[in-house]
Structure 1
Amino acid sequence: MLRIALVCLHTSPVDEPGSGDAGGMNVVVLHQAQALASQGHDVEIITRRSTPTGPAVLNFGDRLRLRFVDAGPAHPLAKGDHELYIGEFSEALSALGPYDVFHSHHWFSGMAALPVARTRGIPHVQSFHSIAADDSTPLSDGERAESPGRMAGESWLARESDALIAISEAEAHTIETRLGGSPGRITVVSPGVDSELFAPAAPALGSHESRRPYAVVAARLQPLKGLDLAIEAIASVPESIRPELVISGDASADFDGYIDELSQLASRRGIADSVHFIGPQSRQALAELLRSARVVLIPSHSETYGLVALEAAASRVPVVAAASGGLREAVVDGVTGVVLDSRDPAVWADAIARLLSHDEEADELSSRARERAETLSWARSADALLGVYTGLVSSVAVA
């Protein structure tokens, strides 16, 4: 049995994805933690307290706990402001444990946990989930550094951590080329998907004849996610087959006013009545939303993977995704969905219209997407993590 600390400084894994700064990272951490605990390991997720009330620890069964520690004010912060409280969080970590391994998620967490791991002589594993881009890189439009120390901090973590976990081959390449991480310490651990929760609609409910079809975007509402492209694309679909656009998620404090910008864009394009902002959804509600959609759009400028693509696949719904980062791995172009190199709304509109107009093609993509999703479990993902953990812990024991 391993005693595993999963460190998530800036966001709690139990926050609903799409709310505040919660996103795919929250889903990955929580489900991997549950899978690790179900295999008999003692797992503690550690996050910053962001509300003044509530218990210090939430227990999810005998082997999984969520611990809230005091670091900075007990209220939500803009994501970039968390850098100010790394030191306090690190001090709080130093009083916890014992643990056999620290696994940090996002650079804030790593900056706090790596010094504690070094003091204790235990391994430190780092997952980034997103990586800052220098202004000179082609991705600067979509991924500017969120806080002053980020690029230096990520590079330090890539050099000094005992192992680096990437969620895709694309992210592994970025860790190596942008941060200088050694390829020998990088392991790609693909995410899983809950294929029972995210499941196809029953045949009677799956009929598209009785309702106006809709497309879905599920994401944190920020420019990086390319929501303007989704609106422009839907507006460019011929009116006779144009679907509604349902946008699930909310803007964080860093992007206050962004929803108004998107609403104004929809108004200018004449589709304000067809674009619906429904806020962040529970996992159950998101599953219901996806399984009845005709298509899921992922127009992000950058994604380390794109977990929603897997959830749509499990729901037997075709995806149209941007050819950015790990989305090329989450969606197999022409097999489980459509991957587009272009950000021209007309090109996206053509792809959407084709899926709406050619049921056989859409059904073929959806069927193969579901088949692939059924092979990608969270237990499989946890097994890959354990291989990294046990190797590091064994090396420490031998030393």
Structure 2
Amino acid sequence: MRVAMISMHTSPLEQPGIGDAGGLNVYVLNTARELARAGHRVDVYTRATRPSQGTVVDVTEGLRVINITAGPYEGLEKAELPTQLVAFAGGVVEYARCHGLRYDVIHSHYWLSGQVGWLLRDLWAVPLVHTAHTLAAVKNSYRSEDDTPETEARRICEQQLVDNANLLVVNTRDETDQLVEHYDADPTHIEVVSPGADTKLYTPGTSRNTERSRRELGLPLHSKVVAFVGRMQEFKGPQVLIRAVAKLFERDPSRDLRVVLCGGASGATADRAYYQDMVRELGLHRRVRFLDPRPPEELVALYQAADIVAVPSYNESFGLVAVEAQATGTPVVAARVGGLPVAVADGTTGVLVDGHAPENWADALAKLLDDDETRIQMGEAAVGHAEEFSWAACAQRLEEGYLQARLMPQQDCSARRAIGDGHHFDHHGG
């Protein structure tokens, strides 16, 4: 098949952990690469953010990233991207027409891309497969008190996609339930496809690997180390970990513990200084280090250097960081939300924490940090658990979903008019 993937708001080639780049980028790049390896032709359309990128980037045989000019290269905030939907869609249409491209399926990622995919589906008369990755209604129900709520406009756009996409792809059954509960989705039009991890890259480290990684990162060889990897935003919960660590030192000031937070600023608290100030105010500046985001080849060393990886997110559609950490043999302490109960085997490969109270997180971290035998056993079990998730298997399931979508009937005009008349949105309070 020839597949058009739409990832408007962020390129799969961007460094995860910076700005809006994160697990979605990892997902798009790895699934597209595996689909190409399976013999399909994949074009990923994204918005150009630098003139030096060029229009086409050949990633590997069968996989290209096509940069579409839509609005200024720089200075356009994520909240302003809806103003460029028409320009972006027009650019995709023009590129495909000028190069005589015909696609068998469209796979859109995130709601902005979904709106473009919805239009292209009708223009090209091919099925639309959509992956939301995150949902406004779900984020609002889980967000912290300090986090900015998602807009009603976004929720309405997501509702349109739920109603009109040929197939919705989700990471877990929990996401299926969320789509049904918040968006009245038809379960027969939802396919659960678990993401994966690059288990050839993320591998368990030997004691020599760990020592080398700690020397390179400037971490004491004999200290306990807790790592956080992800965007520095309230929704990902770095503040939860920081406050929990403060509780640990309140209980035992002599505890030999170091914390590493690896990620770039993102979201409403878009200045990493916000978290650095929090660390200083809590007296942790000698215990906590901040690292810039790094490519996967370097991220392996951080996972291997850590005794525990913390994932205190308020929600995760799956939790790729958790799987990557476990693949390296590092147990995970994670919030019991979203797809994390699937990514982490509670009590076997890590610990799931209810809620985000610093006291509860301090208890969970202390229990694992102070029990070397259990922590090591969990690390060993984590490797086998992570091997259950692979990008090749994910791509194979996507291929099956694409074929399924191609067999589904296109929605007729009468159904489209009912939605446009507002009947559906009145039901949801929109």
The answer to whether the 8 A contact 1:135-1:144 is kept is no
User: What TM-score results when the alignment is normalised by the length of structure 2?
Assistant: 0.87
Gaps of 5+ in 1: none
The answer to whether the 8 A contact 1:57-1:65 is kept is yes
Deviations 1:28-56 (A, max 9, x none): 11000010000000011110001122210
- Counterpart of 1:247? 261
- Counterpart of 1:39? 38
Deviates more, 1:202-211 or 1:5-14: 202-211
Distance in 2, Cα, partners of 1:204 & 1:52: 43
Change beyond 3 A, Cα 1:365–1:79: same
CA drift at 1:303: 1.1
Deviates more, 1:204-213 or 1:334-343: 204-213
Change beyond 3 A, Cα 1:256–1:138: closer
2:291 corresponds to 1:287: no
Change beyond 3 A, Cα 1:302–1:279: same
User: What TM-score results when the alignment is normalised by the length of structure 1?
Assistant: 0.94
Identity %: 33
2:25 corresponds to 1:26: yes
Change beyond 3 A, Cα 1:196–1:62: closer
**AA in 2 matched with 1:288:** A
- Counterpart of 2:415? none
Distance in 1, Cα, partners of 2:139 & 2:310: 27
Distance in 1, Cα, partners of 2:186 & 2:310: 34
**AA in 2 matched with 1:99:** Y
- Counterpart of 1:261? 274
The answer to whether the 8 A contact 1:51-1:76 is kept is no
**AA in 1 matched with 2:396:** D
Change beyond 3 A, Cα 1:113–1:318: same
Change beyond 3 A, Cα 1:363–1:110: same
The answer to whether the 8 A contact 1:241-1:356 is kept is no
Deviates more, 1:138-147 or 1:305-314: 138-147
Change beyond 3 A, Cα 1:387–1:152: same
Between Structure 1 and Structure 2, how many residues are aligned? 395
Distance in 1, Cα, partners of 2:104 & 2:133: 23
Aligned with 1:320 (options 316, 330, 333): 333
The answer to whether the 8 A contact 2:4-2:45 is kept is yes
Q: How does 1:3-22 map to 2 (within 5 A)?
A: 3-22=2-21
SS state at 2:209 partner: coil
2:146 corresponds to 1:133: no
Q: How does 1:364-375 map to 2 (within 5 A)?
A: 364-375=377-388
**AA in 2 matched with 1:283:** P
CA drift at 1:102: 0.5
- Counterpart of 1:77? 76
Q: Name the structure with the higher helix share.
A: 2
Change beyond 3 A, Cα 1:332–1:57: same
CA drift at 1:394: 4.2
The answer to whether the 8 A contact 1:169-1:188 is kept is yes
**AA in 2 matched with 1:316:** G
Q: How does 1:28-67 map to 2 (within 5 A)?
A: 28-67=27-66
Aligned with 2:284 (options 247, 255, 271): 271
CA drift at 1:141: 4.1
The answer to whether the 8 A contact 2:148-2:268 is kept is no
SS state at 2:318 partner: coil
- Counterpart of 1:215? 226
The answer to whether the 8 A contact 1:79-1:254 is kept is no
Aligned with 2:241 (options 230, 233, 238): 230
Distance in 2, Cα, partners of 1:132 & 1:365: 34
CA drift at 1:396: 6.6
The answer to whether the 8 A contact 2:233-2:267 is kept is no
The answer to whether the 8 A contact 2:140-2:150 is kept is no
The answer to whether the 8 A contact 1:7-1:104 is kept is yes
CA drift at 1:119: 2.0
Change beyond 3 A, Cα 1:158–1:145: farther
The alignment's C-alpha RMSD in Å is 2.1
Distance in 1, Cα, partners of 2:74 & 2:358: 39
SS state at 1:308 partner: helix
